[in-house]
Structure 1
Amino acid sequence: MLTVTQPILGIDIGGTNIRAGVMINNELQDIRSIETPSRESKEYILEVIADFISGYLDYDFFAIGIGIPGLIDTENGIVLNLSNIPSFTKVHLKDFLQNRFAKPVFINND
Structure 2
Amino acid sequence: MSKTALTGVRVFDGARLTESTTVVIDGAVIGSDATDAEIVDGTGATLLPGLFDAHVHLLTPDDLRALAAHGVTTARHGVLAPRARRLLPRAGAGHPQRGPAGHRAGR
The normalised TM-score by structure 2 is 0.30
Instruction: Report which of the two structures shows the higher radius of gyration computed on alpha carbons.
Output: 2
The normalised TM-score by structure 1 is 0.30
More helix by percentage: 1
Quick one: higher RCO (CA 8 Å, sep 6+), 1 or 2?
1
